[in-house]
Amino acid sequence: NAGVTQTPKFQVLKTGQSMTLQCAQDMNHEYMSWYRQDPGMGLRLIHYSVGAGITDQGEVPNGYNVSRSTTEDFPLRLLSAAPSQTSVYFCASSYHGSSPLHFGNGTRLTVT
Amino acid sequence: DAKTTQPPSMDCAEGRAANLPCNHSTISGNEYVYWYRQIHSQGPQYIIHGLKNNETNEMASLIITEDRKSSTLILPHATLRDTAVYYCIVRVAVGSNFGNEKLTFGTGTRLTIIP
């Protein structure tokens, strides 16, 4: 199993550009989520999904959209990037509640 | 969701046991305690979890107080590679398979192992 795969690893955007951060898992996990991590801070939940077709907002959802059309994929969309979205983004997945989260290696995004 | 409180930083001598505390005073009966760690800028790594009994695996031990309001992660023989940020979170499971999955992490404890 590849686990949780995030692409790209690094990305630089200009303010106002859009992009999609990709997250895929091959473990048939129902639960997937996106976090952002800013320097010196912990992980903050952006959006999560408990199964295909179901998504919900986390702590900091503004400026981000998600969809879950398949069990394997959970892309995170930035419709109009802002410098405040400069961060490291982590995707995570797990089986049903009360199972350990598996994290990807992160996408480092810089918005200028 | 219950909130957790951890000290911002701790030091431990190499080869000694590292004991990392976590307070979760508002934890509910169906909430598990999970520990993760993050080395450098890598994705967090699962360590251990428990509900009410003490747990041990190849990485660490988890001691949960009888009232479940606090817990301690123990790394029995700390090495330099254990230097990381350690996160304690609680996760609830209600219903058939899905629970309240709004999993929030605090800022964790930065553990430094000193040679």
Q: Show the beta-strand stretches assigned E in chain B.
A: 9-13, 18-23, 31-38, 45-50, 55-56, 61-64, 70-75, 84-92, 109-114
Query: Does the pLDDT at position B98 exceed 70?
Result: no
In the prediction, which pLDDT does B15 show?
97
**pLDDT means over runs of 10, chain A (112 residues):** 92 97 95 90 88 90 96 97 97 83 95 97
Q: Which of A4, A33, A101, A105 to mutate to test the interface with B (most CBs of B within 10 A)?
A: A101
Instruction: Say yes or no: A7 contacts chain B, CB-CB below 8 A.
Output: no
Query: Does the pLDDT at position B41 exceed 90?
Result: no
From B32, B46, B87, residue closest to A98, measured CB to CB: B32
Closest CA relative to residue A91, chosen from A3, A4, A1: A4
In the prediction, which pLDDT does B100 show?
52
Which of residues B26 and A67 earns the better pLDDT score? A67
In the prediction, which pLDDT does A68 show?
96
Amino acid at A2: A
Query: Distance between CA A29 and CA A1 in Å, rounded?
Result: 12
Backbone angles phi, psi at B80, to 5 degrees: -60, -30
Give the chain A residue nearest B49 (alpha carbons): A100
Query: Distance between CA B46 and CA B91 in Å, rounded?
Result: 13
Report CB contact under 8 Å: B98, A101: no
Q: What pLDDT band is residue B96 in, cutting at 50, 70 and 90? A: very low
In the prediction, which pLDDT does B38 show?
94
B33 in helix, strand or coil? Answer: strand
Which of residues B87 and B41 earns the better pLDDT score? B87
Kindly report the average pLDDT of chain B as a whole number: 88
Token readout for B75 is 């790394």
Average pLDDT over residues B101-107: 75
Burial B35-67 (b: 16+ CB within 10 A, else e): bbbbeeeebbbbbbbbeeeebeeeebbbbbeee
Q: What residues contact A21, with CB distance under 8 A and at least 6 apart?
A: A6, A7, A8, A11, A34, A75, A76, A77, A78, A89, A91, A107, A109
Query: Distance between CA A73 and CA A111 in Å, rounded?
Result: 24
Query: Does the pLDDT at position B87 exceed 60?
Result: yes
In the prediction, which pLDDT does A61 show?
95
Q: What pLDDT band is residue B94 in, cutting at 50, 70 and 90? A: very low
Average pLDDT over residues B31-35: 90
Query: Does the pLDDT at position B97 exceed 70?
Result: no
In the prediction, which pLDDT does B90 show?
86
Query: Does the pLDDT at position B1 exceed 90?
Result: no
Which of residues A62 and B107 earns the better pLDDT score? A62
